[in-house]
Amino acid sequence: MSRIGKQSVMIPAGVEVVLSGNKLSVKGPKGALSLLHHYEVSVVIDGEEIRVQKTGKSKMAPALWGTTVRLIQNMITGVTQGFSKQLELNGVGYRMSLQGQKLVFALGFSHPVEVVVAPGLSASIENNVLTVSGIDRQQVGQFSAEIKKLKPVEPYKGKGFRYVGETVLKKEGKKSAA
């Protein structure tokens, strides 16, 4: 039995939840999101709570049960509070700037790297910290991972993108033979 699947999701005040067929729509003060849930689970709205139940007998049904509950919880949190990730850029000569909806990075390559901010997301830069925020948790995480992939932290000097608070184990450099 899934401990997460058994939990019900509470609907806070100011959030409107509509279920039509296998499509769940959530609308709140920050925006609206929708989810097409799998046929192996059923979603039931009961007053101020949402419950998810297994309907299928396959091996996939228990996995989808807990996953669907968390996806619904993330949707409700997104339309009420939103999500954000912070990336820190370290390195001499590495710079980033925001030009409209375009991020421009100088990452030590022969050319500047330009990335368009995905629709539904917002980006802000303060000192050497890039903050990506939006209402869809998956989209915020995916965009942050794509930015980090441009220049991952190298283990010798620690140059590149890292999440704020992330620790990177540094390797020892070459030793001189004297």
Domain encompassing residue 43: 3-80
Share of the chain above pLDDT 70, in %: 98
pTM: 0.89
- State mean pLDDT over 103-116: 94
Domain containing 26 — which CATH number?
3.90.930.12
Same domain for 76 and 87, yes or no, is no
d(CA 17, CA 27): 6
- State mean pLDDT over 123-135: 95
Q: 134 with 122: CB under 8 angstroms?
A: yes
Angle among Cα 68, 73, 77 to the nearest 5 degrees reads 150
What pLDDT, on the 0 to 100 scale, is given for residue 113? 95
Flag whether 171 is in a domain.
no
Same domain for 12 and 74, yes or no, is yes
pLDDT in tens, 44-90: 999 899 999 998 888 888 889 999 999 999 999 999 999 999 999 99
Same domain for 145 and 117, yes or no, is yes
Is 163 a residue whose pLDDT tops 90? yes
